Structure 1
Amino acid sequence: MQSSTNERCFHCGQAIPSGTHFSALINDKEQPMCCPGCKAVAETIVSSGLTHYYKHRQGELVLPPELVGQELPSSVQDELLLYNNPSIQKEFVSEVEPGIKEAVLVIEGITCAACVWLLEHHIAKQAGVIQASVNLTNHRARIRWKETDIQLSDIMSSIYRIGYKGHPYHPDKEEQLLEVEKKRAIRRLGVAGLGMMQSMMLAMALYAGALQGIEPVYEAFIRWVSLIIATPVVFYAARPFFVAALRDLKARHLSMDVPVSIAVGGAYLASAAATLLETGEVYYDSVTMFTFFLLIGRYLEMQARHRTGRAGNALLNLLPSSATRIINGNETLVPATELNVGDVVLVKPGHIIPADGTICVGGTSVDESALTGEYRPLSKHINDPVVGGTINVENPIQIQLTSVGTETKLSAIVSLLDRAQQEKPKAAQIADKVASYFVAAVLITAAVVSYAWWHIAPENAFWITLSVLVVTCPCALSLATPTALTAATGTLRQHGLLITRGHVLESLSTATHIVFDKTGTLTEGNLSLQQTVTFGHYDTEHALTVAAALEAHSEHPIAKAFHRFGAQSADNIKASLGQGICGEYNQQQYRLGKPEFASQLCNQSISYRDAPDQDQQWLLLCNDQAPIAWFSLSDQIRNDVPLALKQLKRLGFSVSMLTGDSSSAVSAVAEQLAITDIISNASPQDKLAHIQQLQRQGAQVIMVGDGINDIPVLAGAQTSIAMGSATDLAKTNADAVLISSEVTCLVDAIVLARKTQRIIRQNLGWAICYNLLALPLAALGFVAPYMAAIGMSTSSLVVVGNALRLTRLPRRKPLHSGQKSR
């Protein structure tokens, strides 16, 4: 094998074999090439005017060009390799598709939106990574990759190499990191605060001495003491700013830590030089004050971020650490992580259910308030499903587990919540982009101001430039949107609405029309069989047995009305969305559903007009020879729906009902709820077409549904909301899930969404106006460095404090006396 040199090819990054002397002229400089092929390609790129490719290329190198060849310490490499172990990945990695995995990591070292941008772009460049998103608020990264192309340890190594640390996400681990971060911040804040007080006291003596006269020996003494006091502030308290700035510069990316570091470091070095040379001004008071106020701002921002992060962790912390497993009648206490599907566990009164399952022994009531916001315990009996993280209230029960670990509903809720927080709305994307360009503009402006004042009044040039750098730090601009979105999302989850897409708050605030499905949405969905009318010689028991067999495996509300009439299942079952179901039972074909659909099987034309009466909802059962029976079903309107619809109309919404039902029950429900825009007997395609027609007319539509037949229209609306009782497929396709199943939560969500948009506009307006006002004042010399530090920190605190107003639901105005709910 041919040996190689330490030099690497400028084009492909590979080592250049010894004795090879190929090169290409790129940007007026000869760059080494490893072979004639790379030389030819490089020259083609240059001749085509595409030399910027070498600044923005992606994918060829696992590491950025400036870091190629640097190796992580062997201890770190060994630790990261452990994360490739499937047993370790079990806790924080899920397989979303065959061969494609997704992990949630907590990133240590993030300080601003620029860090998020750098991480997302750097991780996404790695070969095999499909998607990478980082949340500024809780510092969690969600990464999806192809297992055959890259290992998790390689991804985590790439994070380490640009100056950050990634840890597997687990509530307990994150709590430890949050606590470490908090203690470290308090220590730095204490050093900066103590240094600021001492420096300010000494600075007062220097200011007084400048006015009234002071002996040079005492002035020199005060300066040296100030230097000693400021040194630990700069090298310890302000260290995170320098580390982050160096990291970002090595990655060729500007962040707000760059101007901060220039301001702190420049003022300190200039002051130290003035102290050593005994000439010039010193700025130790400004250095320590700026560091203190910036740390204060970041500490309070960190506290707000920890608060929202803990709100999400509280969900996974609902699960107990241990459970009582029953094996051959013996009770054994085991860690909850060792539970498997099929295990039977004992849950005593007052204990938390450890995973999803069905009750196999006993009956009780279960408190699901932590998940749904519904504080009334629900009655549960044998074969009823229960959810991990809920509380057994009354009696001991035994549960057979159906889902554990990342497959539970609780984990799914957390996953959907994380997905929503990591999908950036347009406002957040614009703010991030503006902030990144703003830093460059600040540095350019500072350079221009410094140059100008150097010619006008050289003695003032330095402190005015320092003030410009400090006062224009874009912290508030970066925090304006993510803090508001995170606060609002967490508030709605606590009150029963789980947002699963990032655009929901924005689209809810601009919506004009809201469209409801009927069964299971406006009504409770607990359909009950009221009457059976048979044809000819067919008996009622036979008709009910066949209907139960056809609906045996369906979770549709209509199907549940028949489940108690039989345990057998039909063969070759096929459901027609919005029409009905067909299958084979005892070697004969049957259809159950709308009269027009079912009667096609026996070549007859039967409609709702042929039903026993026009006052109820009827289904028809037919075989391939004749109709067999009519079934009458009834449902109840949800208690809170009348009030919710009146509140929505008062907010300016046009309310519609879109249903596949064509019975008289549609008009009865519409009349009771005062809905005038009704479309009945609609297929899934008809529903989607109606929504699309509204959207073409300029409507911003919210669609609320719960069934499989609602999936196309849920996907087609600007905002789709699935009921908590909806099918899993409907929830997956929806933008939000009403886990409490209380329709009044929609009103709260819309009111809060509008408030969120107002607060985001207020935050952005404040941040932009502050910088536009402060910059010229600082550039003209009207803002001293200490004033700049106070102003910058205050600006960030105003933004965070304003966003925290979203942690409470705004009060809905009461209806007028003439609008009371029935």
Structure 2
Amino acid sequence: MNTDSTLCFHCAEPCPAHSEFQINYRQVLHPACCAGCQAVAETIISSGLDQYYTQRQQPADRNTPLPAELLEQLALYDDPSLQQDFVHTTNGNEKEAALILEGISCAACIWLNEQHIAKLKGVTSVSINYSTHRARIAWDDSQIQLSAILQHIASIGYRALPYDHARDEQNWQKQRKTALFRLWVAGLSMMQVMMFVVPIYLAPAGEIEANWLSMMHWGSALLTLPVVLYSCWPFYRNSWRDLRHGRANMDLPVSIGVLIAFFASLYALITDHGEIYFDAVSMFVFLLLSGRYLELKARRTAGAAAEKLVKLVPTFAHQLDAEHSLHEVAVSRLNVNDRIVVKAGEIIPIDGVVLGGSSDVNEAMLTGESLPVAKTRGAHVTAGTANLLSPLTIEVKHTGNETRIAAMVRILDQALSQKPRLAAIADQIAAGFIFALLIAAAATYWYWHLHDPIHALPITVALLVVSCPCALSLATPTALTASTGHLAQLGLLVTRANLLETLAKVSDIVLDKTGTLTYGEPRITRTIALNISSETALAIAHSLEQQSEHPIAKAFLIEANPAPVSAAQQVQKHAQGGLSAYIDNQYYLLGSIAFIAEHIQQALPSEFEPYLNEGSMVALSDGYTWLAGFVLADHLRHDAITTVAQLKAAGFELHLLSGDQTSTVQAVAQQLNLQHAVANATPESKVSYMQSLQQQGKTVLMIGDGVNDAPVLALANVSIAMGAGVDIAHAAGDMVLLNNNLSCLPAAFALAKKTQIIIKQNLLWALLYNLAALPLAAAGLITPWLASLGMALSSLLVVVNALRLLSRQRRH
């Protein structure tokens, strides 16, 4: 039995040497200070998670058994009304929650929580972002309740709270202010120290009397003390945590350099022997913190895509009650089928359908499309978009976590929480480089101590500082984060950030037809006017179909009204497949060929016959004669031809795969000038076609509607699912194309290639800088303050270079 230790094995708090509470860890008994720590440790060990005690960087928080009051509070989280703001129902009983974990102090804490939560029956997935401490947990509500998950988290010494954007923003502001204050302390110290040392540097030797010289040096020491004890504290803390874990991080060389320079200067001041570097300490800490602060803000800018989407949705809405009065209510209190009014200039807070009014809506933040979109009765609107012109009355369909913008946030959060392959490799290189740097520093000090002892210390400090591989670790993640955020603004959601590397290598693009290149719904492709103009015929049909909810009516309603006509009156819907109504006291019929033929005596006009096979024919009549015919068929999206031409010009090989008949597919291929087109393709044949391309060494991207194309989308190297009109959280594909906007694809490919270029630039610069700085510092050609400036600028350079990915590219 280990009875010599007086520290608790779990929390490292003092406990009696012969404590009655014991923890059996790997066949050895260790003391525990209380029953709470014993219970937590036994829970961890019995769950097969004892590796936590070898990975942790600092002792766990002291824990006590969960009080009844806390258990009651946790049970409240099972209330559906309370879950509305932070829990999303994904499928049936499957739910997903966004939580903030408290008590996280190191990577071992992340590992422990992920492993412990994942072992719970009913939990389907768990991922925790170390930088934000934000956890996403999915579970089957029929097997385990949220309160039980929270209790299990609390049982190992942590606390989980619902993710709150306001709390996250508050934490960021606190972090920013603390960093700024540490910078201010270092800057003030540097300026005051320089007031003492500049006269020393400028005055001839012996001019300043010894007592005044000593006073000025002691003043410099006292003014440098806040820098060493306060401004540099994060460096010490981070270095110590990693050292306890057997690792060396990028703050370790900085910590060693600061402490060596300060205490060596203090020793020289006390013994009156050696060089004094208080001015160098304060200056290089100030320069380093300046670079870190700018880097902090730059990384916040690069990773703000999800937070920007959260901020889009307002907190309050104007609810319309049964008496048609407006009341200000919280958006979280709205229910499905409630009615709200969104005034001109306001942000739409929910997903819904327009019941009244007509306006333009700016959807640029969601789709990347800068042009406003007209919204009239029956149109769908999305939370986070801006109403521009006039009030809209909207029926609520989805709120909170059920909205499309909430799904976007979940996808972005998931993508940004993953560690890309290049970033992991860079971190491994950086970790090894730090150990090599410490060995090089020791060798440098030994060499200079033998040959020029008075310069050994400043040269070693400069070497430690200038070669810190901060830029190497920042090179990849900052670029990928910025690129992912820019793609979201273009209208392309990336589910995994490391897909950008594959996207940049794509050689072939496989396109589905229906719902991808075409609208996947009837559109007016041809108007055959007989006794009236085409504009008047379309205007009359538009007026008639405004009263219809038939799917074909949408083909007329989405067309702009080409001529002013009065509203239809006395509209009747006929079972035979048509409408009748009066417009300006004139009787009109609109419907299928068979419907019109039943109501008039004239034979089908010969002008209609050549186009009967192009699609469905809808005819217009005044009850006596045929006035016009409209051919309805699925046709190409407005941006398909331009997008395909741009992709071909960029060097991609394009393939069209469709289950439609040969004549239809060939017509589309001819319009798009595609050389590779396959018709009558089954899901199995699409998979075979994809496999044949990949066997030829091609890197293939598949674009489909995410429904019947799911197998081939899963097989592709990269897949993009069309996202309009479906739950984008469930859309098949590695990426989701919001609002089916094909025009953003060329820019997305260009951005992916630019991302790889910038990553390579950053890595090359970071490697060259460190390889060049190391011998220069070892040779004594770099002073400590110049070393700190070089390291800060090096880190800042890679971040600023990555921020170039946020700039909007010109849309063609």
TM-score normalized by the length of structure 2: 0.75
Distance 1:99 1:482, change over 3 A: same
Report the equivalent of 1:802. 801
Q: Alpha-carbon deviation of 1:408?
A: 0.9
What corresponds to 2:498 in structure 1? 503
When residues 203 and 394 of structure 1 are mapped into structure 2, their CA distance, relative to the original with a 3 A threshold, is closer
Q: Deviations over 1:166-186 (max 9, x none)?
A: 875433333333333333322
Residue equivalent to 1:755: 754
Give the drift of 1:686.
1.4
Is 1:144 matched up with 2:143?
Answer: no
Indicate the residue corresponding to 1:272 in structure 2: 266
Report what 1:651 is aligned to. 650
**Deviation at residue 21 of structure 1 after TM alignment:** 11
CA distance in 2: counterparts of 1:689 and 1:650, whole angstroms: 27
Aligned to 1:282: 276
- Distance in 1 (alpha carbons) for counterparts of 2:328 and 2:4: 60
- Given that 2:228 and 2:258 are in contact with CA atoms closer than 8 Å, whether structure 1 keeps it comes out as yes
2:508 is equivalent to residue 513 of structure 1: yes
Show CA shifts across 1:388-420 (max 9, x none). Answer: 222344554443322221111110011111222
Distance (Å, rounded) in 2 between the aligned partners of 1:668 and 1:566: 35
Q: Where do residues 151-230 of structure 1 align in structure 2 (5 Å cutoff)? A: 151-152=149-150, 155=153, 169-208=163-202, 211=205, 214-230=208-224
AA aligned to 1:322 is F
SS in 2 for 1:777: helix
Matched residue, 1:50: none
- Could you tell me how far apart the structure 2 residues matched to 1:463 and 1:159 are? 45
Q: Which residue of the other structure, out of 86, 111, 134, is the alignment partner of 1:121?
A: 111
Q: Is the 8 A contact 2:55 2:108 kept in 1?
A: no
Matched, 1:482 2:477: yes
SS of 2:709's equivalent? helix
CA distance in structure 2 between the aligned counterparts of 1:72 and 1:81, rounded to whole angstroms: 18
Question: Residues 352-751 of structure 1 correspond to what in structure 2 (within 5 A)?
Answer: 352-361=347-356, 364-528=359-523, 616=614, 634-725=633-724, 727-728=726-727, 732-751=731-750
Residue number in structure 2 paired with 1:540: none
CA gap of 1:271–1:746, structure 2 versus 1, over 3 A, is: same
RMSD: 4.4
Segments of structure 1 that go 5 or more residues without pairing to the other structure are 35-53, 532-551, 569-610, 620-630, 815-822
Alpha-carbon deviation of 1:320? 1.6
Cross-structure match for 1:321: 315
Structure 2 residue matching 1:442: 3-state secondary structure = helix
**Cα shift at 1:325:** 2.7
Give the distance between the partners of 2:769 and 2:740, measured in 1 at CA: 43
Distance, in Å, in 1 between the alignment partners of 2:762 and 2:259 is 30
Quick check: 1:480–1:800 contact (8 Å CA) kept in 2? yes
SS of equivalent to 1:675: coil
- Conservation of the 8 A alpha-carbon contact between 2:66 and 2:155: no
Aligned equivalents of 2:809, 2:361: Cα separation in 1? 30
Q: Deviations over 1:766-812 (max 9, x none)?
A: 11111111112222322221121111111112111211111124458
In structure 1, give the amino acid aligned to 2:114: A
| Paired residue type of 1:141 | R
Shift of 1:643: 2.2
Determine helix, strand or coil for the equivalent of 2:780: coil
The 3-state SS of whatever aligns with 2:62 is coil
SS in structure 1 opposite 2:134?
A: strand
Q: Which amino acid in structure 1 is aligned with residue 694 of structure 2?
A: Q
The answer to whether residue 233 in structure 2 is matched with residue 239 in structure 1 is yes
Tell me the CA shift for residue 339 of structure 1: 1.9
Q: Distance in 1 between matches of 2:345 and 2:338?
A: 21
For the structure 1 residues 256 and 107, does the alpha-carbon distance in structure 2 shift closer, same or farther, using more than 3 Å as the test? Answer: farther
Report the CA distance between 1:427 and its aligned residue.
1.2
Q: CA deviation at 1:741?
A: 2.9
CA separation of 1:340 and 1:60: change in aligned 2, threshold 3 A: farther
1:728 counterpart SS class: coil
Aligned pair partner of 1:71 in 53, 62, 78: 62
Residue by residue, what CA displacement relative to the aligned partner does 1:72-94 show, whole Å, maximum 9, x if unpaired?
Answer: 79999999996774266653444
Q: Distance in 2 between matches of 1:106 and 1:309?
A: 20
More divergent stretch after superposition (245-254 vs 180-189): 245-254
1:357-391 Cα offsets, whole Å, 9 max, x none, are 23345555433232122344434444443222223
Q: 1:786 to 1:68 in 2, by over 3 A?
A: closer
Cα distance in 2 between the residues matched to 1:108 and 1:301: 26
Counterpart of 1:255 in structure 2 is 249
Which stretch of the first structure deviates more once superposed, 341-350 or 274-283?
Answer: 341-350
Contact residue 425 and residue 506 of structure 1 kept, 8 A? no
User: Secondary structure, in 3 states, of the residue corresponding to 1:510?
Assistant: coil
Instruction: Look up the equivalent residue of 2:251 and give its one-letter code.
Output: D
User: How big is the shift at 1:484?
Assistant: 1.0
Task: Specify every segment of 5 or more residues in structure 2 that has no aligned partner in the other structure, as ranges.
Answer: 32-44, 120-124, 527-548, 559-571, 577-608, 618-629
CA distance in 1 between partners of 2:679 and 2:17 (Å): 73
Cα distance in structure 2, aligned partners of 1:132 and 1:731: 18
Task: Tell me, in whole angstroms, the C-alpha distance in 2 between the residues paired with 1:669 and 1:298.
Answer: 54
Q: 1:584 maps to what in 2?
A: none
Instruction: Tell me, in whole angstroms, the C-alpha distance in 2 between the residues paired with 1:614 and 1:250.
Output: 79
Q: What are the within-5 Å matches in structure 2 for residues 54-65 of structure 1?
A: 58-59=49-50
- Aligned residue pairs total 696
CA gap of 1:65–1:292, structure 2 versus 1, over 3 A, is closer
Distance of 1:727 and 1:554 partners within structure 2: 17
What residue number does 2:342 align with?
347
Displacement, 1:760? 0.3
457-466 or 486-495, larger mean C-alpha shift: 457-466
Instruction: Quote the residue 2:40 is aligned against.
Output: none
Aligned residue type for 1:492:
L
The 3 A distance-change label for structure 1 pair 801 and 118 is farther
Aligned position for 1:783: 782
Q: Do the aligned residues in 1 keep the contact of 2:52 with 2:112 (CA within 8 Å)? A: no
Q: List per-residue Cα deviations over 1:441-470 (Å, max 9, x = no partner).
A: 323332333344444444333222211211
Query: Following TM superposition, by how much is the alpha carbon of 1:327 offset from its aligned partner in structure 2, in angstroms?
Result: 4.1
| Amino acid corresponding to residue 477 of structure 2 in structure 1 | P
Question: 1:188 offset after TM fit, Å?
Answer: 2.0
Please give the per-residue CA displacement for 1:267-321, whole angstroms capped at 9, x wherever unaligned.
2222223223333222111211121111111111112123234443222222121
Give the Cα–Cα distance (whole angstroms) in 2 for the partners of residues 241 and 94 of structure 1. Answer: 39
Deviation, structure 1 residue 641: 2.1
2:98 pairs with one of 103, 107, 111: 103
Aligned to 1:607: none
Indicate the SS of the match to 1:525.
Answer: coil
- Residues 12-36 of structure 1 deviation map (CA, whole Å, 9 limit, x = unaligned): x999997999999x9xxx95479xx
Q: Which residue in 1 is equivalent to 2:36?
A: none
Secondary structure of 1:660's aligned partner: coil
Q: 1:279 to 1:298 in 2, by over 3 A?
A: same
Q: More deviation in 484-493 or 276-285?
A: 276-285
Aligned 8 A contact 1:123 1:132 in 2: no
